[in-house]
């Protein structure tokens, strides 16, 4: 990358002839944005194949401007069109009045009190996974893919929470179809030229088959939930969405379908990735892992996991937050402005620009974070967080479109992490290559090969103290 000139208040970073920064983005998208901003500041302009301009921001006040102050002037970029193939006009992909109505109807189902009612369900699914690990002999040192296990348990949790269906049992086919769809979307996201979906290419044929299986099951679930008496107390999120209505009436079957698939897709993939990267970081920093295990044994010793016990997992929460800083599941957010706009200092954003909030780079900027590459959960202690800019940390986005499921995801991640840590110590398989796969979400390209062993019941059960700053890097 070479700094060449200032364009409308942005530093243009030139890549290779003709392709521009495209090859660098394909090879290491998160790293490209981090290097560009670290070298050239908060506002960077890149080009993909010369004509396509891409303006990236990591300045917290610029981010506030785009996501909050002028939010009505910015819509999802064309990169999200691939998601519409699956999610239709769900909350992640819709815009304008339709999005506002759907958001308002769905909001009550995601209030903390409503979400916390699912804590026993989260604990039950996690307990079943741990029992299965025992029966399959994983605790005896068998190497396994932790990422696949986290995908499996979070899919089971979200299936029960959304529609009271066991996605690890009678509807296991949904899990297989969903895995295929996520894989296709990641590939589609990286395509430079979007070939027509009607072409009978093998990947598109498989995608349509998987989507048809998803649709059939979701439509059946919607029909079953509509048949329930509306006077009954909602048993899951789909029940709550079925009865939700405003002056325009309730959601249509198509709207319910789009929201259910949005919740299933977004509700397990991102949390599974967050947990996977968390265990990876703990494996790299065993002293912090031991402190998490001690806290889990202390807090969970009194019986089943409850909302109250989750609130006492203070170190566990800091570890999850720090993991999502270093490896945010949604590693970037894109918008497109409907009208000309101007940032502070006169930087211009002509109408129709693709504007990126480079979350991965934002979370590692040395101007915002002390020793940003260090895995340091204690940076989220209240006394160290007090002066931090509100828009320096955005694992769930910000503004009107902040993630509706943020509380659900954080409670789930804390619970799964603590229940595993109470019983097991995870170690990374020597020689396993950990490489970022930045598609729709930030996955490990080759899974996460690990071994587990039980924690010693003779280890101290005293409350875990705050962890000192880790000296080593995040890895």
Mean pLDDT of 204-227: 91
Lowest mean per-residue pLDDT among 6-20, 83-97, 145-159, 454-468: 454-468
pLDDT reported for residue 96: 93
Mean pLDDT of 30-47: 94
d(CA 91, CA 395): 17
Report whether pLDDT(442) > 60: yes
d(CA 60, CA 363): 11
The gap from C-alpha 360 to its chain's centroid, in whole angstroms, comes to 12
Report whether pLDDT(275) > 90: yes
pLDDT reported for residue 244: 86
pLDDT reported for residue 472: 38
DSSP tag of 303: S
Structure tokens, 333: 């957010």
pLDDT reported for residue 461: 38
pLDDT reported for residue 463: 39
Task: Give one DSSP letter per residue of 286-315, joined into a string.
Answer: HHHHHHHHHHHHHHGGGSS--HHHHHT-HH
Mean pLDDT of 377-386: 95
**Three-state DSSP class for 99?**
helix
Please measure the distance between the N-terminal and C-terminal CA atoms of the chain and give it in whole angstroms. Answer: 24
Q: What is the mean pLDDT of the chain?
A: 89
d(CA 24, CA 438): 13
Lowest mean per-residue pLDDT among 222-231, 364-373, 401-410: 222-231
Mean pLDDT of 128-137: 94
pLDDT reported for residue 170: 54
Report whether pLDDT(73) > 90: yes
Q: What number of other Cβ atoms are within 10 A of residue 191's Cβ? A: 9
pLDDT band at 460 (very low <50, low <70, confident <90, very high): very low
**Three-state DSSP class for 341?**
strand
DSSP tag of 260: H
Report whether pLDDT(311) > 50: yes
pLDDT reported for residue 439: 84
DSSP tag of 169: T
pLDDT reported for residue 457: 54
R_g of the chain computed on alpha carbons:
22
pLDDT reported for residue 50: 65
Angle, alpha carbons 419-421-423 (nearest 5°): 80
Q: What number of other Cβ atoms are within 10 A of residue 107's Cβ? A: 12
196 or 345, greater pLDDT = 345
């Amino acid at each position: 990358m070479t700094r060449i000139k200032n364009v409308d208040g942005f530093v243009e970073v030139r890549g290779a002839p003709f392709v521009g920064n495209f090859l660098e983005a394909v090879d290491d998208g998160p790293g490209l944005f981090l290097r560009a901003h670290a070298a050239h500041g908060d506002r960077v302009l890149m080009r993909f194949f010369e004509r396509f301009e891409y303006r990236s921001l990591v300045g917290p006040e610029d981010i506030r401007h785009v996501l909050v102050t002028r939010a009505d002037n910015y819509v999802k970029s064309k990169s999200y069109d691939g998601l519409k193939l699956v999610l239709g006009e769900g909350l992640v992909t819709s815009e304008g009045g339709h999005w506002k109505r759907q958001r308002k109807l769905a909001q009550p189902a995601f209030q903390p009190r409503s979400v916390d009612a699912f804590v026993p369900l989260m604990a039950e699914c996690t307990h079943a996974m741990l029992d299965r690990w025992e029966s399959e002999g994983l605790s005896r040192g068998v190497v396994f893919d932790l990422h696949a296990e986290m995908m499996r348990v979070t899919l089971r949790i979200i299936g029960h929470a959304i529609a009271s269906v066991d996605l690890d049992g009678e509807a296991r086919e949904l899990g297989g179809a969903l895995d295929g769809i996520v894989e296709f979307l990641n590939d589609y996201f990286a395509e430079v030229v979007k070939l027509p979906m009607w072409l009978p290419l093998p990947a598109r044929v498989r995608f349509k088959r998987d989507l048809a299986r998803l649709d059939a099951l979701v439509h059946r679930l919607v029909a079953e939930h509509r048949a329930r008496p509306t006077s009954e107390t909602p048993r899951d999120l789909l029940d709550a969405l079925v009865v939700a209505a405003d002056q325009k009436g309730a959601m249509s079957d198509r709207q319910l379908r789009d929201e259910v698939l949005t919740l299933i897709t977004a509700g397990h993939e991102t949390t599974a990735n967050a947990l996977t990267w968390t265990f990876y970081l703990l494996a790299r920093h065993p002293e912090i892992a031991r402190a998490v295990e001690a806290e889990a044994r202390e807090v969970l010793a009194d019986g089943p996991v409850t909302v109250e016990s989750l609130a006492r997992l203070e170190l566990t929460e800091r570890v999850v937050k720090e993991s999502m800083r270093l490896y945010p599941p949604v590693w970037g957010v894109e918008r497109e402005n409907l009208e000309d706009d101007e940032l502070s200092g006169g930087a211009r954003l002509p109408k129709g620009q693709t504007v990126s909030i480079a979350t991965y780079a934002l979370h590692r900027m040395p101007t915002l974070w002390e020793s940003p590459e260090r895995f340091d959960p204690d940076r989220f202690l209240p006394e160290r967080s007090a002066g931090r800019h509100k828009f320096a940390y955005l694992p769930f986005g910000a503004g009107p479109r902040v993630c509706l499921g943020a509380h659900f995801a954080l409670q789930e991640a804390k619970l799964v992490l603590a229940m595993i840590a109470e019983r097991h110590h995870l170690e990374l398989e020597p020689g396993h290559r950990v490489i970022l796969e930045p598609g729709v979400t930030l996955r490990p390209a080759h899974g996460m090969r690990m071994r587990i062993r039980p924690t010693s019941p003779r280890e101290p059960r005293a409350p875990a103290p705050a962890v000192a700053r880790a000296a080593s890097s995040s890895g």
